[in-house]
Structure 1
Amino acid sequence: MRQHFKLLTLIFVISLYSCSDNSKSKDFTVNDINIIPKPAELTLDKGSFSIDENTKIIAHDSLKNIAKILTDKLKSSSNIELDFSESSDSNFIQFVAKEGLENEAYELSITNKKVTVTANSLGGFLYGVQSILQLLPAEIYGTDTKGDLILPAVEIKDKPRFRYRGLMLDLSRHFFPKEYILKTIDRLAMHKMNVLHLHLVDDQGWRMEIKKYPKLTEIAAWRVDQEDKHWNARDKNDPNVKGTYGGFLTQKELKEIVAYAAQNNIDVIPEIEMPAHVTSVMAAYPELTCHGNPVAVPSGGVWPITDIYCAGKETTFEFLEDVLTEVMEVFPSKYIHIGGDEATKTNWEKCPDCQRRMKKEGLKDVHELQSYFVKRMEKFINSKGKKLIGWDEILEGGLAPEATVMSWRGVKGGEEAAEQGHDVIMTPGSYCYFDHYQGPQNDEPIAQGGYLPLSKVYQFDPIVEGMSEKEAKHILGGQANLWAEYIPTTSHSEYMIFPRLAALSEALWSPIKLRDWNDFSKRIKTQFNRYDELGINYAKSAYLVTSDMDIDLENKSVKMTLQNEFPKSDIRYVLGDAKLSEKAIPYVNPVEISESTVVKASLFEYDKPIGKVFMDTIKFHKGVAKVVNYVIPYNDRYTGSGPSTLVNTLRGTKNFHDGQWQAWLNDNMEVVIDLDQPTEIHKVTVGALENQGPGIYYPIKIEVFVSDDGKKFNSVGNLERPYAKNAGSELKDFIVKFDKQQTKYIKVIATNLKRTPAGSGVFLFIDEILVE
């Protein structure tokens, strides 16, 4: 929402009656200024300005809601309740309307006598208040601010680089209630973000009340509960079984959300997917498919997505126009998002209705039929005074005339749309998909895949190098997307959003010339304190120490490099049983290790470890660097580091693309390790990975054999582990112990499950065979 304020002699004033109390005066340094996103221009002066219980508020009616944002924070955190007054002549904060300023821009001037916020819109005044709050101690965001409320003397001139700064919440894969969405709106405003995109429809659930079609909330909003299984390993549901897991938002609740967002200068954009990602709709109204057969709301992943709207039936368009009419009555946004992605059109190719449509409209293929579908829906949306947004697949077959493209498959679709003169919102997965891992997979909750740390989000620039000035003007901004397949709770959702939203907010708001990771790294630590006060379950992944290792098999030694995301970090480590204390060894150069040991490391601040402790065990077992003969070859897609992978001491992570895993598809692992000479052994450990979504399962049996000649083998031990459901990603060492043996050859067989419960193929992943 945008509101213009005429320049008035009436001003918004907060009057401070503490001019004689010099004991509260304070000089600040640049290090005390930790506003995120970084203001376009900021000058720090000497002096400060204090707020206390004598402060009075003078506000025009149109500004009282903004004044309440500040006064409510003061009351809740410091128990200071400020009264409104008609006038004042000293020690005040004034909000002045100025027509020449751009939308959302503001100016903030703080001296030891007064504070002036100048703006020309609701957003500008709101963001001025947000900057004031970030100049106060972080405790202002909590409920117990004990110190003085002192503002540094600064001059700020600030405005956003991009006009579209968004976050998408996926409510379909896992449903989040109104209360969480309202909290998210507060946090978007805190970061000067101005768009909340609600993904209300997908295969796994419909989330909005549509009064004309009650089955959408009676049937499409609910699925069979299979939360104990991995998202991509869930069973296909029976259409006759009633779903119990899900939920939806009533139109009344959505109107509350929209109104609250408007107060915070946030536009709420609804997404109603079409023609694909609508299996849930087909469960409620199967007559809208090409085939008309009953289907169930899926409980997990669907691929390919074939149960889509029939593009040949007029009833499809009647249904969608009815639905969108109700959607537009709830959401005043000028944009309606229709999705448009990942439609598998095999049913269209054989559907008589679709073929008849193609012939009538002169369409040469199903891609042009999708373009017809999108253009027809755009015409309807435009007739209601709205604009259509779609994912970059809507480019296929020809783009609708006035459509805005949301480019997610990299930036190519955005570039193409901008070249054609269309507006673009950049949201490439490599920078903006917050469902990706943000730290080492071993230390993170299961996620969609990919790696998007805080530092990489900070590098995002919606303007692609080489764009012309004309094309760049079509780039409206950018957006983070939080797809929720692996995010069942609001706490987990917060963890994936924060602090990456802070990095994105600065990438979209601040001038690119101010982009400085070192400076941001300093300011984000104060933002963490604010998150603590707000009770946000933010990720501390940026603190995590990670390692890279090089192995010298000939000399049986390892070089370990340690790092984390923060520049010039104080990383310290210890070996063996030593305690990780202030006396730990400062990390300077790669750590050379030539004997079995445990490495522990952490980032330190003020001589204390912070964040989760890094720990790795390097074990130079009796099989290290020995020759491995592969009786059954490993799969050529997952070859590890070659034939020595299983005996190189280096362990794999939950990221099965890390180069430390060998895999067997539908085959057992069967290898023979040549120990060179008779060696006494009593234990063999096999390291394995399970991630049932992509078809990686633990072995169901491991057996160890020994031989003196490499021809005749005797079994010395085995263990069995039956298949079990596993919703997560997990590493496990399978240990086979036996009586001491003198042997030259060891054969290890790990038995593959071979077929999943759903009948698909199975990968067996092994990273190391430890011989002791």
Structure 2
Amino acid sequence: MKPQSTKVMAASAALMMFLGACQRPQTETDAGTGTGAATAAMTTSVIPRPAQVEPRSGQFLLTGKTPLRVSAGDGEATRIARDFAARLRQARGFEPQVGTGESDGAVNFLIDPKAPLASDEAYTLDITDRGATITARAPVGLFYGAVTLWQLATADGGQGDARIAAQRIEDAPRFVWRGLMLDVARHFRSVDEVKALLDQMALHKLNTFHWHLTDDQGWRIQIRQYPKLTEVGGCRIPAGAAGRDADGKPKPYCGYYTQDEIRDVVQYAAQRFITVVPEIDLPGHAQAAIAAYPQLGVTGQAPPVSPDWGINTWLFNVDDGTFTFLENVLGEVMELFPSRYIHLGGDEAAKDQWQKSPAVQAKLRELNLKDEMQLQSWFMGRLGTFIESKGRRLIGWDEILEGGPPADATVMSWRGTQGAIDAARAGHDVVLSPAPDLYFDHIQSDAADETPGRLDVISLKDVYGYQVVPVQLSAEQAKHVLGAQANLWTEHMRTNDRVQRALFPRAAALAENTWTPAPRHDWNDFLQRMPADMARYRAAGFHAADSAFAVRFAAQTAADGRGTVTLSNQSGFGQIRYTTDGSEPSPTSSAYAQPLAVSLPATIKANAFVDGKPLAATRSFAVDAKNLRTRGSHALRSCKKGLTLRLEDDAPANGKPDGDRAILLTDVFDPCWVYDGAELDGIGTLEVRVGQLPHNFQLWKDAKLVVTRPATVPGGALEVRLDGCEGKPVATLPLAPARRSDGLSTLQATLPALSGRHDLCFTFASGGYNPMWAIDEVTLLPGR
């Protein structure tokens, strides 16, 4: 994209100052200090930020009596205008009427195929004190213009009439692929839940929904010719306590979409100008399909639908009958999905079974192929040719490059960016969706109340700052970059609430990254627009995460025996205000300026505010002698930082069937943790709350990295060492009592007399790796 012109930049700056009349800017006094503090008046609360904004004098008053005008006979413009009116009714409580013919004082919705705009997705929005006009050359651009006007009308979060600053917006997207991927194979989401996600995508101008419908853990799409795919492949028995009912009997986890439901979702998305790209993963991640039809596999045996995460080794075979099956499946898929692209996976296809199979090896020789990677390329190419014969195009994960990709394949790069670089240099179109940068199953903060997911942290700011076009590409090669997509794998996302929190508001940052021209990216300005966006999520009942803004507490014992508590938030944005009397913090509560010295016991409640509005849910922290010496698992350090995860326990913490489950930090490779700098003066007892998790991970070649330690006492023990994991043993906590409970158990041990600060290393010497033992929290107690 060309840099913004000096004229437009000056106009945008002028608009920032002008908008104060109806959308009050944040000042440093309002926002506090820190890296995210407001440094200038905010523009207008639109995400993604428009490409160009030119200020005008005056304001437009949008009310229930404001007419919405379309050209006679323009059905698409009429539908978009009615959608706009319905959204106003939901957000502000009034619904303007739609009529025909342009008029003053109206909002005019115009589709002009000859409009001099950059693309079908582009639009102009002219707002004066006499009305507003949205112009686009295609319905999709008109829809995006209406979304922008709706955001302007809801910027203050209020009800009733809306005052909108006069301005002219010229807008067009930076990339054509602006996507989210949702995995429903691991954890199924209902049609209504998917639609709620599509609504939020549309309101952020995201246009591609990649639907991961099949995997080892579940087949989620009805195929008429093969009913067992959903009857058998749509159910699994979860690992551990989650897979047993109250009587100890197997408790299946099931779910799939009927073809009518698929059509409904595809139509719903199309009405919001979102393309749904289906994924049928192959030749690996096929265990659910092979469980349903064992003849499709290499061994002829029927595995269970997998309860395990990771890389399972069940592959489709390479027989003609299997290709007939896959072509029949893809034929039905293409009947349901009109998208240009059909995603065929191609990732993590462990070749063990192919290597051991005489039949597969005979096929490899018959085709005169060098190895199994070339066989996979042939496999993908054969199916790619089939879908191309139907007028579609193959897209797959970057492993399809390894044996030579099909000629017209589009590559989705997930193993970092190298796959995108190699593909673009070879002339293939690419979509960037690399791990960990755009993998939204990574947690977004290290706070105690963060949802389950992978470590390390991928924050809101990280996503905003992600560079979509690799610097290694030339300008000509960069033309192959279609855009970017965030992926949400749901192994650890059991509930829809967690799915929504994992996706938004990070998806809003991705939306701006992929829509707005790079010279217009501005993290601090984005933060200024986030309060309005967070308010919109709340109004819609959508559970977006507030991790970037939520107050965090760090406490320690002061010299006089009181507690010292430090307050902060991840983004450094907003003024933190707090109370100590149990009341909810408000914009007039005490402003946080320095660490708080409090008498014990005390309870601190805090939130961050901008322009008098809270940025997050209130957080509370109880300060007492025990809490000051307690660290949750999130505050412990992994010894080796292998495959570290925040995992939900498989059993409720309180023993009730539907109770909340604890979130436990664990390293799948090595359950070893360090409590850094423990203050041991006067400490005589160590209390550790532990849990056990099923080791339901298929690690393929990485299985050799799993560490087991021999049990030194019957049932195993949690062993504690001083100043390093090879240091002096100071405590042994037998695990036998904890083995009797599926939930959490509290263990205690007496410590020898120690003084000063020391690192404490915790290792589970249990004699095996299943179950995985994990620490919930560690407490240091005074001597008796």
Whether the 8 Å CA contact 1:197–1:269 is kept in 2: the answer is yes
> Of 358, 361, 366, which aligns to 2:367?
361
Tell me by how many angstroms 1:682 deviates.
5.9
Aligned to 2:312: 305
| Other-structure match for 1:119 | 136
Determine whether 1:148 maps to 2:161.
Answer: yes
Instruction: State the AA in 2 paired with 1:307.
Output: W
Cα distance, 1:540 vs structure 2: 1.1
Alignment of 1:256-405 (within 5 A): 256-301=264-309, 303-311=310-318, 313-405=319-411
- Residue in structure 2 matched with residue 213 of structure 1 by the alignment: 226
| Closer, same or farther: CA 416–123 of 1 in aligned 2, 3 Å | same
Q: Select which of 519, 522, 546 maps to 1:516.
A: 522
Contact 1:136 1:149 in 2 (8 A): yes
Structure 2 CA distance for aligned equivalents of residues 27 and 441 of structure 1 = 36
2:568 and 2:295 map into 1 onto residues whose CA distance is 57
Q: More relative contact order in 1 or in 2 (CA 8 Å, sep 6+)?
A: 2
Is the alpha carbon distance of 1:53 and 1:580 closer, same or farther for their aligned partners in structure 2, counting shifts above 3 Å? closer
Structure-1 separation of matches of 2:75 and 2:589: 60
Contact 1:433–1:482, Cα closer than 8 Å, also in 2: yes
**Structure 1 residue 87: Cα displacement:** 3.4
Q: Deviations over 1:161-199 (max 9, x none)?
A: 000001111111111122222222221110001011111
| Structure 2 match to 1:36 | 47
- The Cα RMSD (Å) is 4.6
| 1:86-124 alpha-carbon deviations (Å, 9 max, x no partner) | 435432222241523112000000001131211111210
Give, in angstroms, the shift of residue 602 of structure 1: 4.0
Q: Does 1:570 align with 2:570?
A: no
- Identity rate, percent: 32
Alignment TM-score, normalising by the size of structure 1: 0.77
Give the 3 Å change call, closer, same or farther, for CA 656–156 of structure 1 in structure 2.
same
Distance 1:87 1:608 in 2: 40
**Which segment is superposed worse, 615-624 or 453-462?**
615-624
Q: CA offsets per residue over residues 187-226 of structure 1, 9 Å max, x none?
A: 1110001011111101111111111111112111111255
Structure 1, 146-155 or 389-398: larger mean CA deviation: 146-155
Structure 1 partner of 2:217: 204
CA contact (8 A) 1:42 1:155 kept: yes
Aligned to 2:9: none
| Runs of 5+ unmatched residues, structure 2 | 1-19, 25-40, 631-636, 643-662, 698-705, 722-728
Distance in 2 separating the partners of 1:473 and 1:282: 40
In structure 2, the residue matched to 1:645 is: none
* Structure-2 residue corresponding to 1:173: 186
SS of the residue corresponding to residue 508 of structure 1 reads helix
Q: 1:58 aligns with which of 64, 70, 77?
A: 70
Residue in structure 2 matching 1:70, options 84, 107, 121:
84
Hey, what's the Cα distance between the residues in 1 that align with 2:65 and 2:626? 70
Question: Aligned letter for 1:249?
Answer: Y
What is the TM-score when the length of structure 2 is the normalising length? Answer: 0.76
1:574 deviation in Å? 9.1
Q: How far apart, in 2, do the equivalents of 1:407 and 1:472 lie?
A: 14
Amino acid in the other structure paired with 1:50: L
**How far off is 1:74 after superposition?**
3.4
Q: Counterpart of 2:738 in structure 1: which amino acid?
A: P
Give yes or no for the alignment of 1:92 onto 2:125: no
1-side partners of 2:589 and 2:736: how far apart? 45
Could you tell me which amino acid in structure 1 is paired with residue 571 of structure 2?
A: F
**In 2: Cα distance, 1:566 partner to 1:687 partner:** 31
Aligned to 2:172: 159
Give 3-state SS (helix, strand or coil) of 1:353's partner. Answer: helix
Change (3 A) 1:328 1:136: same
Q: Distance in 1 between matches of 2:50 and 2:287?
A: 45
Shift of 1:488: 2.1
CA contact (8 A) 2:285 2:311 kept: no
Contact 1:622 1:771 in 2 (8 A): no
Whole-angstrom distance in 2 between the partners of 1:152 and 1:110 = 8
Select which of 424, 441, 451 maps to 1:435.
441
1: distance between equivalents of 2:433 and 2:782?
48
Matched, 1:103 2:120: yes
Compared CA separation, residues 714 and 246, structure 1 to 2 (3 A): closer
Three-state SS of the structure 1 residue aligned to 2:280 is strand
Write the letter of the residue equivalent to 1:488: R
Structure-1 residue corresponding to 2:415: 409
Q: How far is 1:654 from its partner? A: 5.6
- Alignment check: 8 A CA contact 2:173 2:516 kept: yes
Residue in 2 that maps onto 1:486: 492
2:38 is matched with which residue?
none
Any idea what the Cα deviations from partners look like across 1:504-558, whole Å, max 9, x if unmatched? 11011001111111111110110011111111111111123447899999xx999
**1:328 Cα offset (Å):** 0.6
- Give the partner amino acid of 1:284: A
- Using a 3 Å threshold, how does the CA distance of structure 1 residues 562 and 419 change in structure 2: closer, same or farther? farther
Q: Give the structure 1 partner of residue 608 of structure 2.
A: 604
Give the conservation status (yes or no) of the 8 Å contact 1:689–1:696: no
Q: Does 1:637 align with 2:637?
A: no
Which AA in structure 2 matches 1:390?
A: G
- Whether the aligned pair in 1 keeps the contact of 2:45 and 2:155 (CA below 8 Å) is no
* CA shift in 2, pair 1:125/1:622, >3 Å: closer
The correspondence of residues 437-476 of structure 1 with structure 2, limited to 5 A, is 437-476=443-482
| 1:577 to 1:700, Cα distance in 2 relative to 1, 3 A | farther
Higher Rg of the two aligned structures = 1
Q: Residue by residue, what CA displacement relative to the aligned partner does 1:558-582 show, whole Å, maximum 9, x if unpaired?
A: 9987642334543467999999886
CA contact (8 A) 2:185 2:217 kept: yes
Q: 1:742 to 1:437 in 2, by over 3 A?
A: closer
In structure 2, give the amino acid aligned to 1:435: D
Q: Secondary structure at the match of 2:619?
A: strand
Q: Given the alignment of the two structures, is residue 721 of structure 1 paired with residue 733 of structure 2, yes or no?
A: no
Residue 415 of structure 1 and its aligned partner are, at CA, apart by: 0.8
Indicate the residue corresponding to 1:7 in structure 2. Answer: none
Structure 1 gap ranges (5+)? 1-24, 236-240, 625-633, 640-652, 706-712
Do the aligned partners of 1:557 and 1:592 also contact (CA within 8 Å) in 2? no
Shift of 1:307: 1.1
Cα distance in 2 for residues equivalent to 1:607 and 1:690: 44
Note the C-alpha offset of 1:399: 1.5
- The AA in structure 1 aligned to 2:137 is N
CA contact (8 A) 2:584 2:618 kept: no
